[in-house]
A and B are shown apart, each in its own frame.
Chain A
Amino acid sequence: MNSMLLKLELKQMLRSRWMQLVGMLFTFIFTAIIVIQQMALPDVEGFTRQTASFLNVLLFLLPLFILTIGSMSVAGDIESGWFSLLKTYPMTRAQYIVGKYMATVCAFILVVVVAFGTVLALGGFLGGVRLPLVFITLTLLCVVIFASLAIAIGAFAQTRLFALSQSLVLWSFFLLLLSYALMAIGTVVAGHILQKLTVIVIHINPAEWLRFGYFIFSDQASVLGPAFYGVTRFYSSYIGYVVYGIVTFLWITLPLLSANKQLQKRGVC
């Protein structure tokens, strides 16, 4: 039942015009920025404007697309009565959520693979681009974390429009508002307090968590500055890697569990 649902959901998602447009848009923007930066600037090790662009394109675009499409997919099921039909099948709530989640993850991994393939092909034609392994891994993590959040948003939303607005709010909160709030607080509190608040935000904001992970695993933690020496040193150790894995796992599972709870509360399935 699970694989049937996965196939069905994946088919629906890939058929969606919106998904196809998003795939094209992401591929176009991603390829354009990466290739232009690669052509314009020399290839050097370390954190440069080029790697910053890589990271920002990824953190800006991918969460936005995943959150909107993923959440609307779940909300749309409820709104359109698709759930009522699914209820007639021998399927648990958890199976529905996992199927939905897996379909979203698979669809976006396909989008990302198309984008990476295009970058490699065009970059190869123009002399060669580098796609570091850390960056690829981070992209996959981005997909699995934000797909989980998208399912949770969809479960909480009443309608597709509501899911869309919730996704946009959450996206801007994670990507922009939380950072701005922290920067604003920093103007009135002491540096050591701002440092502690930032460490908390790193853990409660998946976008920051992924960005932080990039610096840790690409061995460029010094970019974050001496104030974060203790934190980066911890996360650069083996125990730190394990903790990073655990926190990432929680970011994937907790939204899915909360989605399950919410659907149960609403009496779906």
Chain B
Amino acid sequence: MMKKVGSVLLFLLFMSQTVYADFDIQKAIDRAKPGATITIPAGQYKGNFVLTKKITLRGIQGTELVALGNEPVFRIDGGSTVTIENMALSGNKQAIVASDVDGLELRNLNIKDSHTGVYIQRSKNVHIQHIEMTGNNSHFSKKGNGLAIFKSEDVVVEDTNIKLVQDGIYVEEVKNILVQNNRVTNSRYGTHFMYSSNVQAFHNTYRNNVTGFMVMMTNDIYVKDNHLENHNGLNSYGMLLYDAQQAVLELNTIMNNRTGVALQKSVGITIASNDFRMNQTALEGIMVKGNSVATNNQFTGNILTARADRQGFLLTNNYYDDYSGIDLKNDGIGDVPYVAVSSFGQWMVRQPVYQYFVASPSVVLLTSLDQQINKTEKTVLVDVTPKLMTHQITKKNETNFQQLLIGLLIVTTSMWLWKRGVS
């Protein structure tokens, strides 16, 4: 009996070994004329493939390519109009490395077990679309980026879903890049822009990373309609702009972050019509210059609305849920300024150790006193035209009967106990 079971197990073990497909991809690439399309049949292929000419590689459902050693699955050197689509890739170091390509299209790729998903340098007209990439649970320092793009121009990255990597989308020295409809979770930075210019980011979702957007030494930035949520680590930010110039951040939802948006050494930043909700600190500014302004934003449920050094930044026409002024003129604007400046907020900027006291009883009292005392403050972090709520949606709550009954039971029992104790 045992012998039979052993034989069956051995058979199953043998059958479950990876079977590699017969189709020779490299031979097909070498034989193809420039501009040709190669369809790779379903199956698992092992190897490192090199592309140097105009070509389209198209997989079908079940096409899976695995790199050998530390070389990538695809190395694209030079050439123009290279398209790779519809396949699963895995490589030890990188899945795809592209250098000096003019016209690179990567579509519908599922990348796994790779240190870095896609590595692109010195390329133009790059279009990356529908990439799924999952890293691993090791420390960020041991992981690579989902997509890494260096020294390139005219790049579009859209509809990707990246998780558990170092930086979801890492961009360095790139001109003209559009990043849209991407989703990066559980990584270090959602998207990381360095030394780039003319950067646009629309409709992206970043959740549970160390920081959603990290923008450093970059200029001409337009960030619109993104969702930045749950960045609550020791040094987390929804969005951090360091040494950034000329940025517009609008219509973003920034929710439940340690710091919603932080500006450091940045110039000419406009933060408009964003929704700041439930952040520990909604807005932080250190050494901000050049008419930087936060306008028409909505601040709801944040512990600290804004903090800044002496330079501060301009607050105008924002809605603050903790504003206590009135509107006798009935023009939708509060009659007395909203003072966001607080002693504690400024101490926290100067000395990070003060963060320990955030929202502590002593600080809550101090901030309340500040709001009374600083009514005459006219310089920084004062909104002289705070908006009042013009309309509101009334949501009908549904009674939670289970909780209601438990609550009533507890109250009745404890009251009975109290009465019994007294008598």
Q: A residues engaging B (CB < 8 A)?
A: 10-11, 14-15, 23, 39-42, 44-50, 52, 55-56, 59-60, 110, 113-114, 116-129, 175-176, 179-180, 183, 186-187, 191, 194-195, 198, 207-208, 211, 220, 222-229
Contact = CB atoms under 8 A, between A and B. Distances in A.
A127 B417 CA distance: 28
Interface string B264-282: 0000000000000110100
Contacts of A47: 232, 280, 303, 359
A224 B403 CA distance: 33
Contacts of B277: 42
Interface residues of B, number: 57
A131 B154 CA distance: 51
A126 to B, nearest CB: 5
Given A56-B361, A198-B356, A229-B234, A120 B397 contact: no
Contact of B234 (A39, A176, A222): A222
**What 6 A-B pairs have minimum CB-CB distances, sorted nearest first?**
A121-B407, A124-B403, A120-B407, A117-B410, A225-B355, A127-B397
Contacts of B400: 123-125, 127-128
Given A46-B232, A225-B352, 4 more contacts: A46-B278, A124-B406, A194-B351, A226-B235
A175 B362 CA distance: 7
B174 interface: no
B129 to A, nearest CB: 32
Contacts of A114: 410-411, 414-415, 418
Contacts of A55: 359
A186 B351 CA distance: 8
A117 to B, nearest CB: 3
Contact of A121 (B236, B357, B411): B411
B300 interface: yes
A16 to B, nearest CB: 10
B399 interface: yes
A59 B301 CA distance: 20
B234 A225 contact: yes
A208 B277 CA distance: 27
B364 A124 contact: no
Given A49-B302, A176-B365, A227 B353 contact: yes
B358 interface: yes
B408 interface: yes
B351 A120 contact: no
Nearest to A23: B418
B353 A46 contact: no
Contacts of A125: 399-400, 404
A52 B321 CA distance: 16
